Amino acid sequence: MEERNVDVAIIGSGSAGLYALGRVKASGKSFVLINGGAQGTTCARVGCMPSKVLIQIAEDFHRCGILGRYGVEGHKALTLDGEEAMGHVQDLRDTFVDRVVSNSTAHMGEELFIEGYARFLEPHLLEVNDIRVRAEKIIIATGSRPIIPKPWQAFSERILTTDSLFELEELPASLAVIGLGVIGLEIGQSMARLGVETNGFDQLESVGGLDDPAVAKAAIEIIGRDFPLHLGHAAEISEEGDKLRVSAGEHSVLVDKVLASLGRRPNLDNLQIENAGIDLGVNAIPTYNPQTMQIGDSHVFLAGDVDAERPLLHEAGDEGRIAGHNACSDRVQAFQRKTPLAINFVDPNICHVGRRWSELDPEQSAIGEVNMAPVGRALIMGKNKGLIRVYADKASGRLLGSEMICAKGENLAHLLAWAIQQQLTVGDLLRMPFYHPVIEEALQAALYDLYNKVDRKNSGPITELKLVE
């Protein structure tokens, strides 16, 4: 059997693995990249990108409903060809995947890139197909896969996940979405707006990963106008002819397809990682340091969705960089992670930034908010539904976090994440320029409400402006 010796072996050519590869290449260390299954990253193939194409189609088609307000005639006669819509999703998806592959592994020779599933034989020895790889350091970036409960697997192709959803050639007549986190809400709302009879189910009382009860209440009310949300009970599936019956509590629907959106499972179970002397933790994930990505004090590092910590592309990129740097260095270094930032691309956007509502100390924190109903720019856009809530340390006025459901939340969330990472105060933000009329004025109003509740104020007769020294 062929055996190769390298400084670093990277298992997985998704986003985290490719970012790690960039660091390893730059170091001059010898390496091999190993990948089992489809190439092209989860984001490009089945995640961020195809879902956003579907969301864009749905939002544009749904927008037709508002055209009558402007005097546009004939808008009610517009129809959607579901087959062409899905074809467009697949065409753009293939473009994104091709770009990733062409810019990463397409031109790597067999000595650098091995296609196949790796498993540990010894702490430093991997086996892939008929090749053994002995590596000084190893980076595991094998990603994750959708969870399908075992009883549901008997329903075969009628159970969809994000791995199969974007392969549909036409839209189903009816759909139940089970699990109303980020993916479930995005796909559920999009399908409903495309004309699919859609019902959503979640055993939690909240949706979209929201933590702030006021924002969660607003989200349920707003998104619930697009499709029914059945919350607080676990869903059960049974077969009725060629359809599936989904039941939860007092609610029961008969549908053509079910989207299982119950989260993702790390791809660690087939690595035989115990042969590396590493124990899987309580959640089947080894204990690791999120600032170094090192598993214990071993020579093995984790990166990306496989650690189930922050399953987002920008976080996978940072984790890949950290793991790649430390796998090539004589000394393991810790890196400060960025301010948490999560965006749900439903309409209006749901976002949370920085510290969560449940993490606040009620005695030492202040909360400001604004309702989107009277915001001028939002009213003009026909998107004046939602709520912005911002959190700060009461004594210092330092911004801590935010949750929101509002138009252009994806942009506001970035501004707040940058401000939190710079440790700015509410007063600092109110000294920034705000144009008129823009959605950012809604954030300004929420900040003014928060400013009135914190102790630290700006100095000077006009608190929004600094005196010239």
CA atoms of 232 and 235, how far apart (whole Å): 10
**Confidence grade of residue 300 (pLDDT, cut at 50, 70, 90):** very high
pTM: 0.95
Which residue's entry shows tokens 């209006």?
A: 348
**Tens of pLDDT, residues 127-181:** 999 999 999 999 999 999 999 999 999 998 999 999 999 999 999 999 999 999 9
CA atoms of 5 and 2, how far apart (whole Å): 10
Strand partners, 180: none
CA atoms of 316 and 334, how far apart (whole Å): 16
Please choose, from the candidates 41, 37, 1, the residue with its C-alpha nearest in 3D space to the C-alpha of residue 17: 41
Q: Is the pLDDT of residue 454 over 90?
A: yes
Order of strands, sheet of 349-354, starting from the edge strand that comes earlier in the sequence: 341-344, 349-354, 399-406, 387-393, 365-371
Q: Is the pLDDT of residue 232 over 90?
A: yes
> Cβ distance 125 to 134 under 8 Å?
yes
Amino acid 110: pLDDT: 84
Question: What's the mean pLDDT when you consider all of the chain?
Answer: 96
**Tens of pLDDT, residues 238-293:** 999 999 999 999 999 999 999 999 999 999 999 999 999 998 877 789 999 999 99
**Confidence grade of residue 447 (pLDDT, cut at 50, 70, 90):** very high
The DSSP element (H or E) to which 80 belongs, if any, is none
Amino acid 210: pLDDT: 96
Domains of the chain: 2-40+104-146+265-327 (3.50.50.60), 150-262 (3.50.50.60), 341-451 (3.30.390.30)
**Tens of pLDDT, residues 32-67:** 999 999 999 999 999 999 999 999 999 999 999 999
Q: Which residues contact 260 (CB under 8 A, 6 or more apart)?
A: 146, 147, 148, 149, 152, 159, 160, 161, 178, 179
Helix (H, G, I), strand (E, B) or coil at 217: helix
CA atoms of 280 and 325, how far apart (whole Å): 24
Residue 393's identity, in one-letter code, is D
**Tens of pLDDT, residues 316-348:** 999 999 999 999 999 999 999 999 999 999 999
**Tens of pLDDT, residues 386-397:** 999 999 999 999
Q: What is the DSSP letter of 69?
A: G
Amino acid 284: pLDDT: 84
Amino acid 469: pLDDT: 80
**Is the omega angle on the peptide bond into residue 437 within 30 degrees of 0, that is, cis?**
yes
Q: What is the DSSP letter of 139?
A: E
DSSP code string of 83-129:
HHHHHHHHHHHHHHHHHHHHTTTTT--TTTEEES-EEEEETTEEEET
Which of 276-285, 306-315, 351-360, 385-394 is least confident? 276-285
CA atoms of 24 and 325, how far apart (whole Å): 7
Amino acid 382: pLDDT: 94
* Joined tokens for residue 320: 């890949």
Q: Is the pLDDT of residue 408 over 80?
A: yes
**Confidence grade of residue 106 (pLDDT, cut at 50, 70, 90):** confident
Q: Is the pLDDT of residue 438 over 80?
A: yes
CA atoms of 436 and 183, how far apart (whole Å): 34
Q: Is the pLDDT of residue 212 over 90?
A: yes
